[in-house]
A and B are shown apart, each in its own frame.
Chain A
Amino acid sequence: MMSSDKELNSPRERTATIISKIHAASDVVELIMEINEGREAAMLGSRFSSPLPGQFAHIAVPGSFLRRPLSVAGFDDESGRLRIIVRRAGKGSSALASLPVGSSLNLLFPLGNPFPMELIESFGKVWIVAGGIGLAPLLFAARRASQRRLAVRSFVGFRDDTHVFGVEELEEYGPVSLVVGGVVTERLSEVMDREAPGLIFACGPAPMLGALRLVCAPRGVRAFVSLEERMGCGVGACLVCNCGIKSPDGFAYKRVCADGPVFDISEVGFE
């Protein structure tokens, strides 16, 4: 079964057209793209192009030499529409955020390993922990969990009011603790002291993920994190996007693109 699932979900080079663009927050833009092949597949009743929460698209951005990896923030199986949320961080992401509606893009997707959605059921609930633009892949995970009628509780941090996005959407799925200008893991820790935690899915800046590990480890709470690193090929061949992982020999590098981007927090070295 696993192999056929993998086949269904295998990466392909595809073209997509930006059909809508929303200013979500300061420096944050939400793009909806129509995947040409995805729509055809949807019409044929095939699911082979459907990405899963935690997977990413490797996008060729006009004017940039290297592709840019962007988390899938949503995908509609019916229409074959892909949702990407991008923060203007550097040259490539700014160029992508500046593309007008109607622009055509080349994407390689879906890539990477998804969040373990199937594990949520044994925990009964999922807790989302997000920092800033790290919320993008978690919106997709929260939506899919909610569609499966699983309990979702969210903890999201933003650096200031102007950067807040996605909170109303998260509230549709369950309670949300919003932290603006503070430390989201402190709020998480307080709630954990009085409430049994769910399985945690997290994404955000490295210091937040490091703090999350310190919150989870002593309590034996399981958490999966989506990591980010500058990327090359996106498929696991070039070995440039590595992150430090604990191994039986002490330490090893794993590929964020092909071994991740989702890792069990207990194996990641945030040093």
Chain B
Amino acid sequence: MSEKRFAAKDVLITDLCGVRLKNPLIAASGTFGFGREYDELYDISCWGAISVKGLTLHPRLGNPPSRIAESASGMLNSVGLQNPGVDVFIRDELPWLSARGLVVIANAAGSTEDEYTEVVRRLADSPADIIELNISCPNVKEGGLLFGTSPSCAGAITKAVRRVCRQPLMVKLSPNVSDIAGIARAVEDAGADAVSLINTLTGMLVDTRTRRPVLANVTGGLSGPAIKPVAIRMVRDVSSAVKVPVVGMGGISSGDDVAQFMIAGASAVMIGTANIVDPMAGPRILGEFERFLVEEKIDDLSTLVGSLKAK
């Protein structure tokens, strides 16, 4: 009898606020575009879901270059929500993603409460499966992160969007706060069905020859393995503070990383920067996570989620 190397497929099935994912791995917003580029390299329907590039009401040009800088075990980016606008997404990108049978998470961004609610309203009748409210982008001057840094603002925007949102609503939280659990509670009270965390940590780098910031935008968002310990700690804090599912992210680049986030309390995980470094990260990490489940004899993911033992 051959050795069992992969977990039975149904072990991986994950329920995320009523939406069935074939596995708990989700491509993180901003690193995967609308999926087309990676689909040229492999069949992207291997992902549990895809969270698309952040969508605003109107097309956004984004920030001037340079938009990326390398850091120890990570990278700093300042793309600034460049996107074609929500209407173009619904018309040109969403039909293709849906036809592929993918679970689509539409990442909604904006500068004002009106913009957020209008973006989500336009997505209401679309086949997008889940709305991810991005109140944590550090790379746009107005809005974005501002909404995500106080419990009252985060709660208010969630409440406003909840009224027009017909899909499950997940709110993406910023780590650039003193009490992320307090913000998570505020958005849960305001009607969020799930929270995803962490977005990038605000940072900057300096070119010592020119004495200018490396990024044209001065600051950017730090991502990659450098932020993983911060993210795992925050996933633990938030998952013990709220009842809604927590989707964890921040530097995940192996199957073992997925397991760490899930043990810390994440029901599913998002993988972002790993895609940029390793174009095959999605299928590779899924394979590694399946082997972990076999080795640990796990046949029910719920026995893994939040199974952290006290020291």
Contact = CB atoms under 8 A, between A and B. Distances in A.
B65 interface: yes
Contact of A252 (B37, B61, B71): B61
B66 A230 contact: yes
B41 interface: yes
B77 A240 contact: yes
Chain B interface secondary structure, helix, strand, loop or mixed?
Answer: loop
A66 interface: yes
Interface in A1-47: 10-13
Contacts of B126: none
Contacts of B278: 60
A232 B66 CA distance: 11
Contact of B70 (A92, A108, A235, A237): A92
B65 A229 contact: yes
Interface in B60-117: 61-62, 64-75, 77, 79, 82
B33 interface: yes
Nearest to B68: A240
A236 interface: yes
B277 A253 contact: no
Contacts of B53: 239
B67 A233 contact: no
A11 B33 CA distance: 17
B147 interface: no
Interface in B24-83: 30-33, 37-38, 40-41, 53, 61-62, 64-75, 77, 79, 82
Given A66-B68, A66-B70, A251-B61, A237 B79 contact: no
Contacts of A12: 41
A13 B275 CA distance: 13
A230 B40 contact: no
Interface residues of A, number: 32
A241 B61 contact: no
Given A13-B279, A65-B73, A230-B67, A239 B40 contact: no
Contacts of B40: 10-11, 235
B150 to A, nearest CB: 29
A240 B37 contact: no
B279 A66 contact: no
B277 A238 contact: no
B8 interface: no
A64 B276 CA distance: 13
Given A66-B276, A235-B279, A237-B31, A253 B68 contact: no
Contacts of B64: 244
Contact of A230 (B69, B79, B280): B69
Given A233-B37, A237-B37, A65 B68 contact: no
Contacts of A231: 68
A226 interface: no
A12 to B, nearest CB: 8
B268 to A, nearest CB: 21
B224 interface: yes
Interface in A210-236: 229-236
Contacts of A64: 70
Interface in A223-271: 229-244, 251-253, 258
B232 to A, nearest CB: 19
Contact of A237 (B33, B73, B74, B77): B33
A67 interface: yes
A237 B32 contact: yes
A237 to B, nearest CB: 4
A233 B67 CA distance: 13
Contacts of B41: 11-13, 235
Interface string A62-76: 001111000000000
A233 B276 contact: yes
Contacts of B70: 64-66, 91-92
Interface string A53-64: 000000010001
B77 A232 contact: yes
Most buried by B among A11, A65, A236, A243: A65
Nearest to B53: A239
Given A65-B70, A239-B79, A251-B61, 10 more contacts: A13-B280, A65-B74, A65-B224, A108-B279, A235-B40, A236-B37, A237-B276, A238-B33, A240-B65, A241-B65
16 contacts: A12-B41, A13-B280, A65-B74, A66-B70, A66-B277, A92-B70, A231-B68, A233-B276, A233-B279, A234-B279, A237-B33, A238-B30, A239-B33, A239-B79, A242-B65, A244-B64
